[in-house]
Amino acid sequence: MFKLSCSTAQISLHVLLFFVGINCNTTDQQQEDRWTENSLFERVFQPENDTSDEGIYEPSDSTLLGDGKNPEELAFDDNGQVSKDGISGGTFVTIRTVPYLAQLIEDGNQVCGGSIISEKWILTAAHCLEDAGELEIRTGSSLRNKGGKLYPVAEYIVHENYTKVTFDNDIALIKVNKSIEFNELQQVIRISYREPKTCDKLQLSGFGKEGQDLPAPNRLKSAQVPVIDHTECKEAYKQLFLFEDYIGKVTDNMFCAGTEGDDTCQGDSGGPAVVNDKLVGVVSWGIDCGESGTPGVYTKVRNYRKWIADNSDVEIKY
């Protein structure tokens, strides 16, 4: 069980996509099969009669939203209108607040998130690309599966040491076939040179579900969760699974975020985890939503700076 003592931590609940539900009464092989099946990502389809995005103004130029307020201060309410009021379970925001966020589209449906790290390269999770179909990248949109710009995928590179059972080295690069046009809705995020520290406020963003039996919102959401102590996170999962080199092992290529007892869900798989406007993590894995002692686990981007530079045209200063 982990403990959190961040006196200033502000937790937003019920946010974004959860990944895995594991029944600890199953056999090891059944558990492995279920983990492999359920942990990749969850395809979420928009109902044909869903009109929850009606009334949303999706800007295509540099004009501000609403009455000219700073776009970072604005969010949408349940009626799709611009509002400053936060919503329980995170806040509806515009893409202007997180212009580095990309959507990974497979066979026409959003399946994962990603981060824009250069004109042609997106950083995401390796498990998002297992058995991948026809892929595109959507950028610059506050909506799921519509708006913004679409870029066909030219190639993708999965880390050569990615292990799909343990999720170690869960990182991948996607190259689009033409340069992304940068503006206030589509921007690069810089890769952090430092590791996230305990109690850092981790910003998550994406289009994931608010709960297992709830539909995913069609609008972009954002939330903050605190980074937790690495040793305590490792111990929490070790106690849960009671084996060392199997699922549930938190390696030195990972870090954890969340809070004990609160019903938090992780960001869209492959999506950005950001501290102080710099990319520190990629959303990787977790056990259900709201399970006490099982925080979300993220790939530690700092450990892969050289790998990213060696496999792309991204310039990283050391």
Q: What's CA 7's distance to the chain center, in Å?
A: 25
Q: Is 230 a catalytic residue?
A: no
Q: Which two tokens stand for residue 297?
A: 């686990």
How far, in Å, CA of 139 to CA of 65, rounded? 18
Q: Which residues contact 303 (CB under 8 A, 6 or more apart)?
A: 252, 253
Which of 192, 269, 284, 312 does the annotation list as catalytic?
A: 269
Q: Is 12 a catalytic residue?
A: no
Q: Which residues contact 264 (CB under 8 A, 6 or more apart)?
A: 11, 12, 13, 14, 15, 225, 258, 289, 290, 295, 296
Q: Is 127 a catalytic residue?
A: yes
Closest Cα partner for 192 from 202, 183, 184, 182? 202
> 249-277 burial, b for 16+ CB within 10 Å, e for fewer?
bbbebbbbbbbeebbbbbbbbbbbbbbee
Which of 127, 192, 229, 230 does the annotation list as catalytic?
A: 127
Q: Which two tokens stand for residue 276?
A: 């102080």
Closest Cα partner for 10 from 280, 197, 208, 199? 199
Which of 53, 168, 170, 229 does the annotation list as catalytic?
A: 170
Contact 273, 14 (CB under 8 A): no
Handedness of CA 259, 213, 106, 141 (dihedral sign): negative
Number of other CB atoms surrounding residue 237 within 10 Å:
22
Report, as residue numbers or ranges, the catalytic residues. 127, 170, 269
